[in-house]
Amino acid sequence: MTTAPAPLRVALLGGGVVGGAVARQLALQADDLAHRVGRPLELVGIAVRRPGRDRSELGVDPALFTTDAEELVTRADIVVEVIGGIEPARSLILSAMEHGASVVTANKALLAEDGPTLYAAAAAHGVDLYYEAAVAGAIPILRPIRDSLAGDSIRRVIGIVNGTTNFVLDAMDTSGAGFTETVERAQALGYAEADPTADVEGFDAAAKAAILSSLAFHTRVSSADVHREGITEVSARDIAAAREMGCVVKLLAICERVDGPDGPGISARVHPALIPLSHPLASVREAYNAVFVEAEGAGDLMFYGQGAGGDPTASAVLGDIVAVARTRVLGGRGPGESAYAELPVLPIGQAITRYHVSLEVADKPGVLAAVATVFARQGVSIETVRQQVVTDDQDVSRAMLIIVTHAATDAALSATVDELAGLDTVNEVTSVMRVEGN
């Protein structure tokens, strides 16, 4: 008589939107997942803060809910962490690894802050650490970078990795509304949190940029290494100016290998930028995410889909659970940290891109010549100049110069802007935005 294989025990930390979706799918797909893995997956517990809450819609045994996460992680083969934040998530993950459990997490903040500690613990205890859901929800991007492109050389990763900011900027573009009004609309529709700071100030995207940079360039990059700017200063005027150029404004996470003055390094930055309508990322609308990868051999690749939400994120989590479970059934471990390159993360001043600069100037002869002299003195080449008169709500007319530069360092452009602000003929530098994707 053949003995049925013992199930792999799965512990779930977190019963919120994502955790609930994971629990539900584990129950609904139990038979299929058992065939895909080679052994059944048994959910042995779900750690939550309020065990008495009605969660009947998940279709799991109410007895599985517990507040004792510390005990739960000691009796599982696979621990799934979807509670987020730094603590207690870090301590629970480390405890799970100490007790021999592999870990699947969606915790971008923890990975970006202390990924090396988690990798070291996984290696020390011979277990796996998978985190596909930490970046861009359901979109499979981390495993392709880590595995499918492992034999290639990635030059650049540029992406829209935060759905809230993409929704806000897209809505500003289509409606002409201002930033504050559009954020309020996003909150009413459930696309933005009551406190949207992590999204609109770029913290969420910066954590994801750190993870992408670490994988793509085999170097430890933390969120503190990523230059970060949010979208709070993007105005309806900026959106209109982008449209006039045949561009849209997107909050981009940009990770690239560059040649610095002392050799190769990494530029990792998050900021709003203009991208031409011809670029694939320009067509990413509403709360969707997309990541564009430029590799030496594979060329240009784009990964697109839903970047957040319970079911999409649970899809990525379940994919990691199956991958980790298969490894345990077959014996051995999956790939660990690859940080052999140890490239320096270069300061933002060494980043090179093009710029869109708007100036309010005095309406008199010689202004353009004075402005052009400043750009030349700082070594920033001008690509195009457009002059226009803008009339505001009080019927006051203002002379504007709209300048697009050729590629220059961020330091050179910053010095240019500082000098322009000191000219008697420049009333105000009204906007400075980077131009990407050309």
Q: Which residues are catalytic?
A: 208
Nearest to 266 by CA among 279, 249, 282, 253: 253
- Report how far residue 438's alpha carbon sits from residue 436's, in angstroms, rounded to the nearest whole number: 6
Q: Which helix (H) or strand (E) holds 43?
A: strand 41-47
Tokens representing 401?
A: 């110069």
Nearest to 168 by CA among 228, 212, 230, 210: 230
Tokens representing 184?
A: 């309020």
**Cβ 293 vs Cβ 303: under 8 Å:** yes
- Report how far residue 285's alpha carbon sits from residue 190's, in angstroms, rounded to the nearest whole number: 16
**Cβ 167 vs Cβ 191: under 8 Å:** yes
Q: Are strands 102-105 and 129-130 parallel, antiparallel or unpaired?
A: parallel
Tokens representing 215?
A: 């994988």
- Report how far residue 8's alpha carbon sits from residue 36's, in angstroms, rounded to the nearest whole number: 13
Tokens representing 71?
A: 């005990």
Q: What are phi and psi of 326, to 5 degrees?
A: -60, -40
**Cβ 342 vs Cβ 371: under 8 Å:** no
Number of Cβ within a 10 Å radius of residue 170: 21
- Report how far residue 172's alpha carbon sits from residue 181's, in angstroms, rounded to the nearest whole number: 9
Q: At what angle do helices 30-37 and 17-28 cross, to 10 degrees?
A: 80
- Rounded to 5°, the CA angle 255-261-266 comes to 15
Tokens representing 94?
A: 């480390």
Q: Which helix (H) or strand (E) holds 258?
A: strand 247-260
Q: Are strands 352-361 and 397-405 parallel, antiparallel or unpaired?
A: antiparallel
